């Protein structure tokens, strides 16, 4: 179930169709996942998000796989079901092994544990950590 | 301000003192940050968390700096003020450059944006992403 | 699946039945959505929530549709699947067009992005914003 | 305290300085709030976020004040201290009265309450709410 | 800092003053904490919240101290700084010992850890857990 | 759907099989719920989490049922679908009555409401609540 229509290739407007084509070309597959079919209801925003993804997720000071794992971490903490699924699949497609996935899970679980302890005890931030 | 006492070296019980010593020895510094002084109110749990950190955050299929950046990502999404400060400091100590930090920010911001879009539109998970 | 029974009209106690009737009368439809069938397990709390909704969500300094869109925004950030569905349906019933929904999505996505950036950089609040 | 430097006009690179100038011109004030001074550490991302804000937050199917209130709602649910302060100030600058703010608070509080109830009872989504 | 005025006894309207008096009488102290001074900006909502607290937090199938600890747990997971402080103080006033607080911290930390693991792995809910 | 395989008894490695056996023995049932079948992909972490659960969730200064209800409260605020289901089932198995469940719901709903109000108004923490 979803709160919006999933837009087919036929129903897409020109901007959305162009993004569909670019996604297919960048990913070298015909498959368009549901996020983009939902996003196509507002093709201007869809295009802005897609351009952002290309700008941010490519190689740079961090490699694309590291970025995907960071993306998963945020998605899990935000309880985004769709994102946990889609970015875990992306990370695997970019070379995440079972061992790397296992370590990712460990770090996420540990961080959540200490996040909640720090929030519960309201630990005051040490002066030594300030950069401003 | 905090909801618990910050335990000094003198007030710490034996288990907490041992953890303080181990932290100092592993990190090669005399400085004990406030999280551990707060955690020392329950030295059994403090010890369990510290052992978990040593087990999880060392080198493995992922390198320690990558793990720190994943840790930051979870902490930000969980709105943990203390953790954002302390793990950004840790990541810098492990070699995170300004360029890497900037890319980390970009990925966190982008992930949050699409997390909220996917949750808002309640996008159904594609069958292609299932592993079970 | 749910963690409680969904209470039918027959199984409802008198207080819950009265709330069912009031919902039907206010909304001018026979349909009772699952939230209320779940809430009916504790008919005192159900009644308190329903009275709160009538008090808060009617016209006032803000119009009912604006309130529904604010409600959706909170629900998305809290990752409430049910609420995203039910309040998007409510907002449409109150006149939310596709264009308004698209803009709502844009704002939610943008806010999430800057929320996470501000939390990640732990930006200190400007004195100029203080009201106390 | 913050995890990054707050960049002064003098220390800003050319892209960041241009964004500072555009902010001053759009808002008709010399004041640059800390979010932008923090964001200026990565002037490419800063520019992308600023362009996004101008694209999304102007008049459209929703008026700018409604958008600010939606922004506040997301920020509160994401526990973003800085954003709650800065966007409440923005909303007031755009005409939010005390009565409108009071109603915004009521809706946010009510939504949080039912969000948590729906998540706690794991209420199954009614078929009637599906749009896909 | 706050986004609203903190209302003094003198500035409070009649409804807010009545709630102040009731708080003082129920708690047997002259002290009014800042939450209520902030809430007094909308005395109708303030009264509704206060009545809700009296209805919900008194003795029943669960004792008042257990309820305060559940309140803390929710507040921590929602990253509510103010609430973590105020409800930890309330729980102590109702008899929470250091040992009970320590166990509360342990459970919160553990739950956060497994919450994030379950969300990360998107574990399908077992049929055995369904009550609907 | 899930992002990892659900590990059968046959596919489990020796460590995972030992944990399965211990779960069966502690809970006096043959049934292994999906969380553990998912966790078994990393049997070292699985074992660490299981040992943590046994250490934390047994009787102590708080009784096991109180701990389960605190666990539910955290899980709901973290929007963990799986955890809301599994820990509600656990709490019922440990004696949570319908009346206790109803009160738990009330406290969770109330806490969420005031959490969001306190975060929205950014209420400054009273000095009286400080313990550090």
Q: Express each pLDDT in F24-66 by its tens digit.
A: 999 999 999 999 999 999 999 999 999 999 999 999 999 999 9
Q: Is the confidence metric ipTM above 0.90 for this complex?
A: yes
Say if D1-57 and D60-123 have the same CATH topology.
yes
How many beta-carbon contacts under 8 Å exist across B and D? 23
The residues spanned by each domain of chain F are 1-57, 60-122
Q: With contact defined as beta carbons under 8 Å apart, do F52 and B48 qualify?
A: yes
Separation of alpha carbons E5 and C130, rounded Å: 9
Checking if the pLDDT of E132 tops 80, the result is no
CB of E115 closer than 8 Å to CB of F18? no
Q: Give the per-residue pLDDT at B17.
A: 98
Between the CA of residue E86 and those of D61, E37, E89, F51, what are the distances in Å? 41, 14, 5, 33
Taking a C-beta distance cutoff of 8 angstroms, is the pair F79, C80 a contact? yes
**Cross-chain residue pair E38–F121, CB shorter than 8 Å:** yes
Chains with 3+ CB–CB pairs under 8 A to C are A, B, D, E, F
Which residue in D has a C-alpha nearest to residue E47's C-alpha? D106
Confidence band (pLDDT; 50, 70, 90) for D131?
confident
Q: Per-residue pLDDT tens for E28-67?
A: 999 999 999 999 999 999 999 999 999 999 999 999 999 9
Q: In whole numbers, what is the pLDDT of chain D averaged over residues?
A: 97
| CB atoms B80 and A104 under 8 Å | no
DSSP 8-state class, residue B107:
H
Mean pLDDT of C39-45: 98
Region E7-29 average pLDDT: 98
pLDDT at A1: 86
Interface test with D, best of B93, B109, B113, B117 (most D CBs within 10 A): B109
* Chains in contact with chain B (at least 3 beta-carbon pairs closer than 8 A): A, C, D, E, F
Q: Does domain D60-123 have CATH number 1.20.1290.10?
A: yes
Query: Which of B79, B88, B102 is closest, CB to CB, to D3?
Result: B88
Is B61-122 a CATH 3.40.50.1980 domain? no
- E→D contacts (Cβ < 8 Å), by residue, are 1, 3-4, 41-42, 45, 49, 74, 78-81, 132
Distance of alpha carbon B113 from alpha carbon A71, whole angstroms: 11
What confidence score (pLDDT) does residue D1 get? 87
Q: Spell out which residues of chain E touch residue D89, defining contact as CB-CB under 8 Å.
A: 3
Cβ distance of D116 and F108 shorter than 8 Å: yes
pLDDT at D42 over 80: yes
- E strand intervals along chain B: none
Task: Identify the CA nearest to E69 among candidates B43, C4, C45, F61.
Answer: F61
Q: Which residue of B has its CA nearest to F127?
A: B1
Task: Report CB contact under 8 Å: E3, D106.
Answer: no
Work out the minimum CA distance from A13 to partner chain E, whole angstroms. Answer: 33
Q: Are B76 and C92 in contact (CB under 8 A)?
A: no
Q: What residue ranges of chain A have pLDDT lower than 70? A: none
For residue A111, the Cα-to-chain-centroid distance in whole angstroms is 19
A109: closest chain E residue by CA: E113
Pairwise CB contact (< 8 Å): C74 & D74: yes
The per-residue pLDDT for F109 is 98
Q: In B, which residues are within 8 Å of F5 by CB distance?
A: 131-132
Category of D59 on φ-ψ map: left (φ > 0), alpha (ψ -120 to 50) or beta: beta
| Closest CA in chain D for residue B112 | D78
Residue of chain B whose Cα is closest to the Cα of F51: B48
Question: Cβ neighbours of residue A40 under 8 Å, at least 6 residues apart?
Answer: A7, A12, A13, A16, A19, A20, A46
Pairwise CB contact (< 8 Å): B131 & F5: yes
pLDDT score recorded for residue E10? 98
Residue whose structure tokens are 């656990």: F90
Question: So what's the pLDDT on residue A132?
Answer: 78
Contact B45 E116 (CB under 8 A): no
Q: Which residues on chain F are in Cβ contact (under 8 Å) with A105?
A: 42, 45
Q: List the single best residue of A1, A2, A3 to mutate versus C (max C Cβ within 10 A).
A: A3
Question: With an 8 Å Cβ cutoff, are B102 and D42 in contact?
Answer: yes
Q: How confident is the model at residue C66 (pLDDT cuts 50, 70, 90)?
A: very high
Cβ within 8 Å, pair C85-A3? yes
Q: Does domain E61-121 have CATH number 1.20.1290.10?
A: yes
Distance from CA of C73 to the nearest CA of D (A): 6
Does B6 sit within 8 Å of F129, measured CB to CB? no
| Per-residue pLDDT at A16 | 98
**Which of E63, E86, A114 is CA-nearest to residue F63?**
E63
Q: Is the pLDDT of residue E77 over 80?
A: yes
Asked if E61's CB is within 8 angstroms of F66's CB, the reply is no
Chains A and E: how many Cβ contacts under 8 Å?
A: 60
Q: Do C85 and A1 touch (CB under 8 A)?
A: yes
- The beta-carbon neighbor of A117 closest among B39, B73, B116 is B39
Q: At F130, list the tokens.
A: 């400080």
Residues in chain F within 8 Å Cβ distance of D122? 81, 84-85
How far away is chain D from the Cα of B79, in angstroms, using its nearest Cα? 6
Structure tokens at B41: 């109110």
CA–CA distances in Å: residue B69 to residues B48, B64, C122, D2, F6: 22, 9, 16, 17, 28
> Residue E109 is nearest to which of A72, A117, A122, comparing CB atoms?
A117
Given D112, D120, D121, which is nearest F113 (Cβ)? D112
Measured on CA atoms in the order B82, B84, B88, B90, is the torsion positive or negative? positive
Q: A112, E108: Cβ pair inside 8 Å?
A: no
| Domain C62-123 sits in CATH 3.40.50.150 | no
pLDDT of residue B51: 97
CA distance linking residue B90 with residue A110, whole number of Å: 15
Chosen CATH of F60-122 out of 3.90.45.10, 1.10.10.60, 1.10.287.130, 1.20.1290.10: 1.20.1290.10
Give the helix/strand (H/E) hosting B48.
helix B43-57
State pTM to two decimals: 0.97
* Min Cα separation A60/chain B (Å): 8
Calculate the average pLDDT of chain E.
Answer: 97
State residue F1's pLDDT score.
87
pLDDT by residue for chain B (132 residues), tens only, comes to 899 999 999 999 999 999 999 999 999 999 999 999 999 999 999 999 999 999 999 999 999 999 999 999 999 999 999 999 999 999 999 999 999 999 999 999 999 999 999 999 999 999 999 887
Residue pair A65/A95 in contact by the 8 Å Cβ criterion: yes
- The highest-level CATH class for domain D1-57 is mainly alpha
Looking at residue E1, what is its pLDDT? 87
**Chain B CA closest to residue C123:** B81
Instruction: Specify the pLDDT at position F42.
Output: 98
The alpha carbon of E10 is separated from its chain's Cα centroid by a whole number of angstroms, namely 27
State whether E112 and A110 contact (CB < 8 Å): no
* Min Cα separation B49/chain C (Å): 23
Which of D1, D4, D35, D115 is the best mutation test for C, with the most CBs of C within 10 A? D115
pLDDT for B27:
95
Please indicate whether, in this complex, the C-beta atoms of E109 and A121 are within 8 angstroms of each other.
no
């Amino acid at each position: 179930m979803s709160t919006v229509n999933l837009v087919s290739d036929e129903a897409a407007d020109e901007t959305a169709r162009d993004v569909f084509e670019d996604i297919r070309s960048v990913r070298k597959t015909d498959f368009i996942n549901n996020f983009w079919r939902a996003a196509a209801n507002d093709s201007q925003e869809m295009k802005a998000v897609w351009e952002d993804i290309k700008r941010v997720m490519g190689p740079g000071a961090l490699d694309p796989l590291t970025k995907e794992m960071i993306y998963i971490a945020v998605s899990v903490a935000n309880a985004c079901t769709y994102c946990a699924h889609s970015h875990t699949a992306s990370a695997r497609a970019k070379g995440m092994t079972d061992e790397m996935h296992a370590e990712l899970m460990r770090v996420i679980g540990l961080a959540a544990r200490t996040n909640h302890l720090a929030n519960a005890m309201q630990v005051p931030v040490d002066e030594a950590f300030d950069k401003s």
